[in-house]
Structure formats: C-alpha cells, structure tokens
C-alpha cells in the first residue's frame, strides 16, 4: 500500500531532521576549534556552510514556525550592513555586518533543531568536553600552544581567555544535566571545566559561573542535587588548581620551554589524579539532608548573605573608585587579578562610546567602528581598544538608537520563558543565553564565532517549535539568492584580506606588490590596507607622484582614518619636503588621534612653516 501524502510529509520531515543535527554540530565544531579567534578568517567558510544547509532545509522541510522571534537579529544584521554608507570605517563595518548576518543565519539554522533538545545537549556537551581537553592539553604539552611562553592565561582553542571562561559558563549547567543520567561523565565534565575556568583568570567568567549555577539550582535543577554533584568535582579541581599555581611553567608568564615542558608533565599527572578522585567521589551517593540540616543550612546562608552585604556596603566606595579609575596601569595577568576591582579600562571605553553616540544618536558611527572612537577620545596613548567591552553600549555607539533597540529586542525574544523552562535539558541549554548576555556586558564576545555560533544555535532552537510550513518555488529561489549574496559578501572581504597580505609580503618587487594590491582592492574596495601597500611599493620603486596619489586615494576612501592621514602627512614632510602641504594633513591626524606619540611630526611641520622654510 502506498503512503498518503500526509504520511509522506511526516516521513520526509523526520527522515531529514536527522541531517539538520549533524550539520549543525559540524558548524558548531568548526566554530569552536577553527573560529580563528577575533580575526574573522573562518567567517566565509562558516557562512557558506550555514547558508547552504539552510537552503537545503528550506527546500526539503519548509520554514519553521516562530520566525518573528529571529526578526530582530536579522534586522540588526541588515542595519549593520546599511551603516556602511555612513561609517567612519566602512571596511570594518562590512566585516562586522557579515558577522552579524552569519549569527542571524545560525539562529535560523537552530530553529530546525527544535524538538531535538536532548540530542543537541549531548552533542554540545561532547563538543565542550573536547574543547576542555584541548585547552588543558595546551598546558600539559608545551609545544601545543607556544604562545603560553609569553602569556600563561588559558585561552585556546577559542583564542581568548575570557571567551574560554564563557565556554565554561555554558558547559557547567550542561555537565549537571548530563550527571543526572550519566553521573560519571557529567562530573568529569564539571571537573575539567572548573580547572579550565580557574586557569583563565577571568573574573567575569567566575562570577557568571556562580550566577548560572545558582539559577540552575533555583529554576529546576534542585539545590541538593547541584551541590552534591558539584562538590565531588570541585574539591579535586580546587586541589589541582592550587598545585598548578605553584608550577611556574603552567601559570606564570615568560617561562622557558624547558620549564613549561617539565611543569606541564607534572600538571598532566595531577590532572589525571584529580579526575580519578572525582570519579571515586562520584560513586559516593550523599543522602538528602533532613529538615533540621536544611534549616541550619538556610540560616547559614542568610548569615553569609548578611555578611557579604556588609562587606559590599563597607567597601563599595573603594571598589567603585577602583572600577571607574582612568589610570593607565593594566591589571596583571596573574592570579592576583581575582582580588583587583579595576575595570581594566572598561569604564573609560564605555564613556568614550557614549561620547561618540551623543554626536550620532540615531544611526551611530557605523558597526564595528569603536577603534576610531577610541583613538579620538582616549586620554593616553596606552589606552587602545577595538571594542568598548560592552555589547549594548557598543551597538548604541556604532549603530545608534536603532541598532541598540534591535539588540535589546533580540535579547528579549531569545530570553522569554527561560525561567519557566522546568524541563531539565531546556533549562541547562537555556542558561547559556543569560550567561552570554551577562558576559557581553563586560567583554567582546560578538567578535568570536567560537562563542556566538553555539549560542545562536541554542537561541534559535529554543525559540522555535518543530512544526514547518512549506514554501513555494519562488520563496525557495529567493532564499537561495540571499544565501548566495551572503556568501559572496563574506568571501569578498576574505579574498581582499588575503591578497592584501600577499601584496604586503611582495614589497620587495614593487610592480608585483602593486598588482596584488590592485586585486585586493577589487575584492574589498573599502579597505585602505592595499592602497597603503601600493603607496609604499610605488615609493620604493622611485615613483613618488604615484605614491602620493595612492595616499590621497586612501584618505578619500577612509577620511576618518588617522593612519591614512599620518602616512600622507609623513610622506609630504619627509619625502617631498613640503611642510606646507604636510601641515594640514598632520593636523587632521592629530585631531583624529590626539594622544598618538607621532604627533611630534605635526610640531615639526609647524616649526618649518613658521621658520619660513620654502615649501614645494
């Protein structure tokens, strides 16, 4: 008997739904292990993978219900792309728009995972377990991450210590959920991430871990289960971390390869012993405490809360003064940072972003352009950043009220109902969203696909339902066209960067460097890097007039670039010996970056002009 049309639809859907999960897991794995840090080198490949998967899913399954919940992040990506037209750094805005549009596409992909929360949770727990193993292996095997010789803070494979700490914040509720059915695996995962979290030295990461664990216990995980599961993992983890801090090759900067290899081997042994201890303790089942013990614990909790409140009230003034200090001293990368309440320049960056927003309140300065804002408003040459380390403030400054409203709507739509998700797996997954939101208030998570891809997969999945609505051929064709456009946009920037890099490496042969830079400009006409390379190549080839025309082209493409104006002014002053031409150019440079130590070039040009030195 042939199946009816309705039966075929159900069979097709559930036959193909098994493809959405492995493809999504591959995308998440690619982001976690090969995300390229904040460089964006993986953006085009991830974009291609996501949009191709989406096109196939739309054609085979239709579109998921609840698309309105991802509308704000889609509109945020579109608005970021539109901001290229008024951006003070259009090249970076283009990259940032590609990034935001990728996250929107990932959220759409996540919607096809609705109904598969348990499988997704196990897959994500497995991926995060692999990330943890890789992270800790970088300390055990000295040659795995050579840069730990410079700065010891744990950061790979994410590429950023605070980002790796956020991964720990996402993993810990999942570890507790896994421990309900597979106690040993869940506690092993918790043990590994507790060690890794401590070795990131991330103050925000530790604080947010405490928040999400409390939320997990309060919203459905259960206090006793949470405590009795974490303690057997936390005790060995604490011992391992304590021993790690007496091994300079593991936790100190500037160590030799020999020291790192020796201490890494010892650390590996300690890790194994700690894991064995965790497994042994996991086999002990602690009985649930009686009413008397629970009452005593409640009283003890109240006493601790009152004591903590007293400490906060007593020290609040000093902590706030330290947090808002504009001193240029950096917070150290050692364990002592846990007792430091300085914002490490963050408060100054937030103030700079707000100052820039006041000048462009509606549309901002263009997505991803805080680097220009920072140069203009900083009070020391040591204070330099490309992001203000606060996502809402960043989007307010860069995309105006419109962009900030879309960010808030995105957060609202994705967070609705988290507190009501008493289902253990949805709660464990859903807590990744407030963890990300809290962390984004003090850091630059948007720059890392390793973090944002898994987060937006989870957000899309929890926002959707398993139902689908079939679409016609025209709609499917439109989806394919958008997918092609997004892929071309991402690869254009990527190819432009690659050819610009090759042009810079070929400066020994000026004509070849100019040709490669020309190709780079054809892919990314908004970037000034290949133009500046052309200028240097022409100058080294003795073509000064051509070189100056390139410098003029650079300030024309990016009139808010301090570097472009400095390069032009320096060339006119030192190569063409024309201080009168250089003076207004260097004056523009000093206006865009008043704290730059190269502002002495302006003083030199001004002195020559005032001395009556003949100009060109």
Question: What tens digit of pLDDT does each residue of 170-182 get?
Answer: 999 999 999 999 9
Average pLDDT over residues 367-388: 92
Length of the chain: 616
* pLDDT band (50, 70, 90) for residue 387: very high
Cβ–Cβ under 8 Å, residues 452 and 443:
no
Q: Which long-range contacts (CB under 8 A, 24 or more apart) does 36-39 make?
A: 36/159, 36/449, 37/158, 37/159, 37/160, 37/448, 37/450, 38/159, 38/160, 38/444, 38/447, 38/448
Residue 199 pLDDT greater than 80, yes or no: yes
| Higher-scoring residue by pLDDT: 616, 94 | 94
Render the burial of 220-237: b for 16+ CB within 10 Å, e for the rest: bbbeebbebbbebbbbbb
Query: Can you give the pLDDT at residue 62?
Result: 87
Residue 336 pLDDT greater than 70, yes or no: no
Residue 453 pLDDT greater than 70, yes or no: yes
Query: Can you give the pLDDT at residue 468?
Result: 83
Q: Which residues contact 150 (CB under 8 A, 6 or more apart)?
A: 253, 254
**CA 436 – CA 208 distance, rounded (Å):** 9
Pseudo-torsion of CA 72, 76, 77, 79, nearest 10°?
A: 130
* pLDDT band (50, 70, 90) for residue 422: low
Residue 301 pLDDT greater than 70, yes or no: no
Question: How much is the mean pLDDT over the chain?
Answer: 89
Exposed, middle or buried, 137 (CB in 10 Å: 0-12/13-18/19+)?
A: middle
**SS3 at position 467:** coil
Query: Can you give the pLDDT at residue 418?
Result: 61
Cβ–Cβ under 8 Å, residues 357 and 370:
no
**CA 194 – CA 217 distance, rounded (Å):** 17
Residue 311 pLDDT greater than 70, yes or no: no
Residue 506's alpha-carbon distances to 65, 418, 513, 517, 518, in angstroms, are: 52, 54, 5, 10, 13
Query: Among 545, 551, 510, which Cα is nearest to 528's?
Result: 551
* pLDDT band (50, 70, 90) for residue 110: very high
- Tokens representing 570 are 């320096």
Peptide bond into 43 cis (omega under 30): no
Host H or E run for residue 469? strand 468-469
**SS3 at position 63:** strand
Half-sphere exposure in the Cβ direction for 37 (13 Å, CA): 6
**CA 81 – CA 96 distance, rounded (Å):** 8
Average pLDDT over residues 151-165: 94
Query: Can you give the pLDDT at residue 329?
Result: 60
Query: Can you give the pLDDT at residue 197?
Result: 97
Cβ–Cβ under 8 Å, residues 140 and 250:
no
* pLDDT band (50, 70, 90) for residue 85: very high
* pLDDT band (50, 70, 90) for residue 231: very high
Query: Among 53, 33, 31, 52, which Cα is nearest to 43's?
Result: 31
Host H or E run for residue 64? strand 63-64
Query: Among 126, 77, 124, 119, which Cα is nearest to 98's?
Result: 77
* pLDDT band (50, 70, 90) for residue 382: confident
Q: What is the DSSP code string of 141-157?
A: STTT-GGGGT--S--TT
What are phi and psi for residue 247, nearest 5 degrees? Answer: -110, 100
Query: Can you give the pLDDT at residue 401?
Result: 97
Average pLDDT over residues 229-245: 95
Query: Can you give the pLDDT at residue 205?
Result: 94
* pLDDT band (50, 70, 90) for residue 242: very high
Q: Give the rounded percent of residues in the chain with a pLDDT score beyond 90.
A: 73
**CA 44 – CA 497 distance, rounded (Å):** 12
Q: Which CATH architecture has domain 497-610?
A: Alpha Horseshoe (1.25)
| Higher-scoring residue by pLDDT: 167, 333 | 167
20-29, 66-75, 216-225, 270-279: lowest mean pLDDT where? 216-225
Cβ–Cβ under 8 Å, residues 570 and 601:
yes
**CA 252 – CA 508 distance, rounded (Å):** 40
Residue 71 pLDDT greater than 60, yes or no: yes
Half-sphere exposure in the Cβ direction for 520 (13 Å, CA): 26
Cα dihedral across residues 358, 85, 437, 161: positive or negative: negative
Residue 491 pLDDT greater than 70, yes or no: yes
Query: Can you give the pLDDT at residue 323?
Result: 64
Query: Can you give the pLDDT at residue 334?
Result: 64
63-72, 182-191, 540-549: lowest mean pLDDT where? 63-72
Helices (H), 416-561: 424-430, 432-439, 449-463, 473-505, 510-523, 529-540, 544-557
Residue 144 pLDDT greater than 80, yes or no: yes
* pLDDT band (50, 70, 90) for residue 11: very low
The Cβ of residue 84 has, within 10 Å, a number of other Cβ atoms equal to: 18
- In the chain, where are the structural domains located? 5-286+333-469, 497-610
Query: Can you give the pLDDT at residue 416?
Result: 75
Half-sphere exposure in the Cβ direction for 345 (13 Å, CA): 23
pLDDT tens track for 516-539: 999 999 999 999 999 999 999 999
Query: Can you give the pLDDT at residue 496?
Result: 96
Name the β-bridge partners of 64. Answer: 468
Whole-prediction pTM: 0.90
**CA 613 – CA 575 distance, rounded (Å):** 15
Q: What is the DSSP code string of 104-166?
A: HHHHHHHHTTTT-HHHHHHHHHHHHHHHHHHHHHHHHSTTT-GGGGT--S--TTTTSHHHHHH
Render the burial of 300-325: b for 16+ CB within 10 Å, e for the rest: eeeeeeeeeeeeeeeeeeeeeeeeeb
Query: Can you give the pLDDT at residue 36?
Result: 79
Query: Can you give the pLDDT at residue 414?
Result: 87
Query: Can you give the pLDDT at residue 292?
Result: 60
- Tokens representing 364 are 């901002």
Average pLDDT over residues 10-14: 43
Cβ–Cβ under 8 Å, residues 408 and 392:
yes
Query: Can you give the pLDDT at residue 399?
Result: 97
- Assign residue 410 a region: left if phi > 0, alpha if psi is -120 to 50, beta otherwise? alpha
What are phi and psi for residue 64, nearest 5 degrees? Answer: -75, 155
Residue tagged 């080294």 (tokens): 540
Host H or E run for residue 468? strand 468-469
């Amino acid at each position: 008997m042939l199946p009816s049309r309705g039966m075929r639809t159900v069979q097709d859907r559930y036959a193909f739904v098994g493809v959405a999960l492995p493809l999504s897991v591959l995308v998440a794995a690619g982001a976690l292990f090969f995300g390229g840090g904040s460089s964006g080198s993986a953006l085009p490949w991830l974009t291609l993978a996501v949009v191709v998967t989406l096109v196939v899913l739309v054609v085979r399954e239709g579109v998921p219900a609840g698309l309105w919940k991802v509308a704000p992040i889609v509109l945020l990506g579109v608005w970021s792309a539109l901001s290229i037209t008024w951006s003070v750094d259009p090249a970076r805005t283009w990259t940032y728009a590609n990034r935001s549009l990728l996250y929107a596409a990932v959220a759409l992909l996540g919607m096809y995972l609705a109904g598969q929360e348990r499988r997704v949770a196990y897959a994500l727990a497995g991926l995060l377990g692999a990330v943890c193993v890789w992270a800790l292996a970088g300390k055990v095997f000295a040659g795995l991450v050579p840069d730990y010789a410079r700065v010891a803070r744990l950061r790979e494979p994410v590429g950023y210590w605070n980002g790796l700490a956020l991964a720990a914040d996402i993993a810990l509720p999942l570890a507790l959920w896994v421990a309900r059915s597979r106690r040993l695996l869940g506690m092993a995962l918790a043990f590994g991430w507790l060690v890794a979290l401590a070795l990131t030295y991330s103050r925000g990461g530790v604080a947010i871990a405490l928040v999400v664990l409390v939320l997990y216990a309060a919203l459905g995980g259960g206090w006793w289960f949470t405590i009795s599961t974490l303690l057997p993992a936390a005790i060995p983890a604490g011992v391992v971390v304590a021993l790690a801090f007496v091994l300079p090759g593991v936790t100190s900067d500037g160590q030799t390869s020999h020291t790192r290899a020796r201490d890494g081997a010892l650390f590996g042994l300690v890790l194994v012993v700690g894991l064995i201890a965790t497994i042994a303790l996991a086999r002990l089942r602690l009985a649930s405490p009686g009413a008397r013990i629970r009452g005593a614990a409640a009283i003890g909790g109240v006493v601790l809360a009152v004591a903590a409140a007293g400490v906060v009230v007593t020290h609040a003034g000093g902590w706030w003064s330290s947090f808002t200090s504009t001193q240029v001293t950096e917070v150290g990368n050692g364990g002592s940072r846990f007792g430091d309440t300085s914002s490490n320049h963050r408060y100054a960056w937030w103030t700079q972003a707000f100052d820039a927003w006041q000048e462009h309140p509606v549309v901002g300065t263009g997505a991803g352009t805080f680097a220009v804002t920072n140069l203009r408003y900083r009070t020391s040459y040591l204070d330099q950043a490309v992001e203000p380390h606060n996502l809402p403030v960043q989007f307010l400054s860069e995309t105006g009220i419109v962009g900030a409203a879309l960010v808030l709507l995105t957060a609202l739509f994705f967070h609705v109902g988290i507190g009501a998700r008493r289902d253990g797996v949805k709660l464990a997954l859903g807590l990744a969203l407030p963890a990300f939101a809290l962390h984004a208030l003090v850091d630059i998570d948007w720059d890392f696909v390793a973090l944002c891809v898994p987060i937006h997969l989870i957000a899309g999945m929890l926002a959707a339902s398993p139902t689908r609505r079939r679409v016609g051929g025209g709609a499917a064709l439109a989806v394919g066209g958008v997918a092609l456009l997004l892929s071309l946009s991402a690869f254009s920037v990527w190819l432009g960067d690659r050819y610009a890099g090759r042009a810079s490496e070929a400066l020994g042969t000026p004509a070849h460097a100019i040709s490669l830079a020309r190709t780079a400009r054809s892919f990314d006409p908004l970037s000034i890097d290949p133009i500046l390379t052309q200028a240097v190549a022409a100058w080294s080839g003795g073509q000064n007039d051509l070189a100056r025309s390139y410098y003029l082209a650079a300030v024309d493409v990016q009139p808010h670039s301090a570097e472009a104006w400095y390069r032009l002014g320096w060339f006119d002053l030192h190569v063409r010996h024309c201080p009168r031409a250089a003076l207004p150019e260097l004056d523009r440079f000093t206006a865009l970056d008043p704290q730059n130590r190269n502002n002495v070039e302006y003083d030199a040009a001004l002195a020559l002009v005032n001395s009556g030195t003949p100009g060109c």
